[in-house]
A and B are shown apart, each in its own frame.
Chain A
Amino acid sequence: MAQLLRQRSVLKSSAFFYEALAREPKPAGSSIGYFCHLVPEEIIIAAGFHPQRLCATDSYQARSGEELVSVEACPVVKSIAGLARNDFFRSLPLVVLPGSCDGKTRLAELLSVTTEVYFLDVGRGADYLENASFWAEKYRQFLHFLRKRFGITASREKMLQACHATNRRTEAFRRLYRYRAENPGAISAFDYFAAASASFFCDPVTWTDQVHRLLEESQATAIKNTGWPRLLLAGSPILFPAFKLLEVLEEAHLEVAADLTCGAYGHLFDPVEIDEETEDGLLRALALKYIGGSLCPCFPNLGKLADRIQDAVSEYRLDGVVYYVLRLCQVYDLQTITLRQILKDGKVPLLAIKTDLEREDRGQLITRLEALREMLGEKGERFKR
């Protein structure tokens, strides 16, 4: 899969990301696995491990995972359950699961049979005033657990270093994000999402360098502007290798100019803003980065998501929004209609697409997306006049 995508890419520097995706992950002994963008990577890095984000949307693994969880479960949950049969997964010293959605909470129990699982409780509130101390306390417990379990110090200085590394990564990602949004057709959505997924496997410093290299190469290359309508992609995560939605969007001649999904934007866009470099201050800052600023629908974040969508659409002058719901993922599905109503008031066209990891509905999706393109095309012409 990675090889196929790599051949399609026009930029040579993107090869690094596809190779990182195709390669075997780092040796299991040096990595701590985790799911969701709510787990603080900096703490894992400070503990001397590579934070290996394991979030998977793989149709093969999903089918294999059906034996462990229900057929009617969310594809991500099924994929994770399928992954649990993997040798790599079994040999991980620790897997961290946040109690974000019901599926992840349940998996924490199911996976503890095969490997050691740390359940990170993040609560359900998203308000700084009510919850910040709770989040920081949970992160502190996680840090203390790591210290005790592996007999390491994971000192404040190491956490600070890790924060600086991830902040530089955020800086590179923001550059990439802005560059893509402002230069249509410069870097394809495949390269972008592959780079985001590759950040799970690479250490922040290498990844940062490679993103800067990719941007420099793209800036030196002549851009062929396709003139396709430019869209914002929000909703469920787009993770390698489940790029079906990107394929159908490309076939319908629509361009993903920016995204708000938790695999790319949610994972990399927000920095750690260190107010006080005490241990307490660092943990609070991490909690605000990961949970406070999160758009995860497990928390009451709908208004925030609508704000982010409207801001991105007006800032980058985008034509519309595709809201992607992974079928059977309740939390994303439930807020679709309300979100559409909010955006209708703001005159932002939104197309909700509900699909799973299988490839059967490709033709149907293309038809719907082509209809969207025609609608946006008309609208675009109306705006021009």
Chain B
Amino acid sequence: MKRISAARRSVQVISLILLIYGGYLFKGKQEETGNSSLLPRLKAPAGAMSTTKFQPGQILWPSGDTPVLESYPPSLVCRFNPKGGMFKACIVHFLSENLTWQTSFKYLLPHLSLFFLLCFLLGRMWCGWVCPIGTVGDFLTWLRRKMNVPARRFPSGFRITLRGFSYGLLSLSLSISAFIGFPRYARFQCYWFLPYCQVCPARLLCPLFGLIKPNWKDFSTGITIVFTLLAWVVLGLFLAAFYWGRRVWCHLCPVGLVNSWFNRGAGMELHKKAIKCTKCGYCAEACPMGLTEMYQASSDTVFNQPGCIMCWRCVENCPRDNCLTVKFFGRKIVASKWR
């Protein structure tokens, strides 16, 4: 395995263990000190729905207890991790929940600032290096490669369409969440609370890491049947997308979408020196997100477009020395070098 890929795999495995098994690793300490989070703990107002109110057998039952830290880092950190996991939840969960609860902005501000700061530092590196769901997906990709099945490649139009869908998903789930927050419509909360979480594949996958049975079906009412079926379809799409299409799923992920807004202007940047480029296409070939802008650029470019998850496979696959460079606030981290 090449240098950068080896580093990335190690970081991915460590983050997966930390984020998913954090509940097992740090729980004892937390119980001694109580829930000691530097940031304010966000609580559901009286009468409002929250994940803790769901019972086993219902879709949103969190299959464990409270997380170690009440923070929301920019990655897909699932609320439904076994034993609560390390962090509370992902940004989509955070926004949906607090829109429903109509939490005051002054309580949200510290959490949002932390999120913005982390995004500003690393951009979408959170997707490529930390996201545990991405790691699961990369494992599926690895499996496909071992089985000698060719990767599916998608045209750029498909990519843009997926991004459009992602905007649709995010805005729909946030507006539903805001809608059911009004006292008049609060009776819908038991069905429509956290609408994206109900179909998110992470909700079904994460509990499996702790050998806890996720609530993969709830056929009690019409709405739960619809959500159950939708979740199945989405999980199937998710597995197929990662198996055949490398990281094509990440164009659809709403958490990745929020992270991607910070890619431009983030501390981590990818630079291309055009005169070194031979237009061989190895960078576009290696990109798991299927981006081709790096290949197409014919002048010196700072490459930080929204789709890039900063896995730097282009950098390690570039056969030209110093053609592609990764910089962190202008300081060179790594450059393409063939052997």
Q: How far is the CA of A295 from the CA of B279 in the complex (A)?
A: 10
Q: Is the CB of B319 within 8 A of A293?
A: yes
Which residues 293-332 of A sit at the B interface, judged by CB distance below 8 A? 293, 295, 303-304, 307-308, 310-311, 314
Given A129-B295, A304-B279, is A284 in contact with B285 using a C-beta cutoff of 8 Å?
A: yes
Q: How far is the CA of A129 from the CA of B275 in the complex (A)?
A: 20
Closest 3 CB pairs of A and B: A128-B281, A280-B150, A293-B280
* Chain A residue nearest in CB terms to B281: A128
Q: Is A156 close to B, CB under 8 A? A: yes
Chain B binding surface, main DSSP class: loop
The 8 A CB mask of B124-160 against A (1 = contact, 0 = none) is: 0000000000000000000011001111010000000
We find that the number of chain A residues with CB closer than 8 angstroms to chain B is: 33
* 10 contacts across the A-B interface (CB closer than 8 A): A128-B279, A128-B284, A128-B285, A128-B295, A129-B292, A270-B319, A275-B317, A285-B282, A311-B276, A314-B275
Q: Is A281 close to B, CB under 8 A? A: yes
B39 CB to closest chain A CB (Å) equals 41
Q: How far is the CA of A320 from the CA of B298 in the complex (A)?
A: 24
Residues of chain B lying within 8 A (CB to CB) of residue A132 = 281, 285
A355 CB to closest chain B CB (Å) equals 28
Which residue in B145, B278, B292 is a CB contact (below 8 Å) of A293? B278
Residues of chain B lying within 8 A (CB to CB) of residue A91 = none
Q: Is A138 close to B, CB under 8 A? A: no
Q: How far is the CA of A304 from the CA of B148 in the complex (A)?
A: 34
Q: How far is the CA of A195 from the CA of B279 in the complex (A)?
A: 27
Q: Is B313 close to A, CB under 8 A? A: yes
Q: Is A257 close to B, CB under 8 A? A: no
Q: Is the CB of A311 within 8 A of B275?
A: yes
Q: Is the CB of B285 within 8 A of A285?
A: yes
Q: Is the CB of A307 within 8 A of B313?
A: no
Residues of chain A lying within 8 A (CB to CB) of residue B319 = 270-271, 273, 293
Q: Is A288 close to B, CB under 8 A? A: yes
* Chain A residue nearest in CB terms to B285: A275
Q: Is the CB of B149 within 8 A of A278?
A: yes
Residues of chain B lying within 8 A (CB to CB) of residue A303 = 298
A270 CB to closest chain B CB (Å) equals 6
Known contacts A270-B319, A273-B338, A288-B281; 14 further A-B pairs (Cβ under 8 A): A128-B284, A129-B284, A270-B278, A271-B338, A271-B339, A273-B282, A273-B319, A276-B151, A278-B145, A278-B149, A279-B150, A304-B278, A310-B275, A311-B276
B242 CB to closest chain A CB (Å) equals 14
Q: Is the CB of B145 within 8 A of A276?
A: yes
Which residue in B150, B151, B276, B280 is a CB contact (below 8 Å) of A128? B280
Which residue in B145, B153, B277, B338 is a CB contact (below 8 Å) of A307? B277
B10 CB to closest chain A CB (Å) equals 20
- Show the binding face of A for B, using Cβ within 8 Å: 126-129, 132-133, 156, 171, 174, 270-271, 273, 275-281, 284-285, 288-289, 292-293, 295, 303-304, 307-308, 310-311, 314
Residues of chain A lying within 8 A (CB to CB) of residue B186 = none
Residues of chain B lying within 8 A (CB to CB) of residue A295 = 278
* Chain A residue nearest in CB terms to B151: A276
The 8 A CB mask of B243-287 against A (1 = contact, 0 = none) is: 000000000000000000000000000000011111111101110
Q: How far is the CA of A284 from the CA of B317 in the complex (A)?
A: 13
* Chain B residue nearest in CB terms to A135: B281
Q: How far is the CA of A271 from the CA of B282 in the complex (A)?
A: 11
Q: Is the CB of A307 within 8 A of B285?
A: no
- Show the binding face of B for A, using Cβ within 8 Å: 144-145, 148-151, 153, 274-282, 284-286, 292, 295-296, 298, 313, 317-319, 338-339
Given A174-B338, A284-B285, is A277 in contact with B145 using a C-beta cutoff of 8 Å?
A: yes
Which residue in B150, B277, B295 is a CB contact (below 8 Å) of A281? B150
A209 CB to closest chain B CB (Å) equals 17
Given A128-B295, A270-B319, A293-B278, is A278 in contact with B150 using a C-beta cutoff of 8 Å?
A: yes
Residues of chain B lying within 8 A (CB to CB) of residue A307 = 274-278
Q: How far is the CA of A273 from the CA of B4 in the complex (A)?
A: 14
Q: How far is the CA of A276 from the CA of B278 in the complex (A)?
A: 21
Q: How far is the CA of A171 from the CA of B144 in the complex (A)?
A: 30
Residues of chain A lying within 8 A (CB to CB) of residue B285 = 128, 132, 275, 284-285, 288
Q: Is the CB of A308 within 8 A of B149?
A: no
Residues of chain B lying within 8 A (CB to CB) of residue A289 = 280
Given A174-B338, A278-B145, is A273 in contact with B275 using a C-beta cutoff of 8 Å?
A: no
Q: Is the CB of B284 within 8 A of A156?
A: no
Residues of chain B lying within 8 A (CB to CB) of residue A271 = 319, 338-339
Residues of chain B lying within 8 A (CB to CB) of residue A279 = 148, 150
Q: Is the CB of A292 within 8 A of B275?
A: no
Residues of chain A lying within 8 A (CB to CB) of residue B144 = 278
Q: Is the CB of A126 within 8 A of B279?
A: yes
Residues of chain A lying within 8 A (CB to CB) of residue B296 = 129
Residues of chain B lying within 8 A (CB to CB) of residue A285 = 282, 285
Q: Is the CB of A292 within 8 A of B280?
A: yes
Q: How far is the CA of A126 from the CA of B281 in the complex (A)?
A: 10
* Chain A residue nearest in CB terms to B317: A273
Q: Is the CB of A281 within 8 A of B279?
A: no
Q: How far is the CA of A32 from the CA of B313 in the complex (A)?
A: 35
Which residue in B148, B153, B275, B298 is a CB contact (below 8 Å) of A278? B148
Residues of chain A lying within 8 A (CB to CB) of residue B276 = 307, 311
Q: Is the CB of A275 within 8 A of B286?
A: yes
* Chain A residue nearest in CB terms to B148: A278
A304 CB to closest chain B CB (Å) equals 6
Which residue in B148, B278, B292 is a CB contact (below 8 Å) of A308? B278
Residues of chain A lying within 8 A (CB to CB) of residue B282 = 273, 275, 285, 288, 292
* Chain A residue nearest in CB terms to B286: A275
Q: How far is the CA of A18 from the CA of B278 in the complex (A)?
A: 32
B309 CB to closest chain A CB (Å) equals 16
Q: How far is the CA of A270 from the CA of B281 in the complex (A)?
A: 12
B183 CB to closest chain A CB (Å) equals 54
Given A278-B149, A281-B150, is A270 in contact with B280 using a C-beta cutoff of 8 Å?
A: yes
* Chain A residue nearest in CB terms to B288: A275
A204 CB to closest chain B CB (Å) equals 15
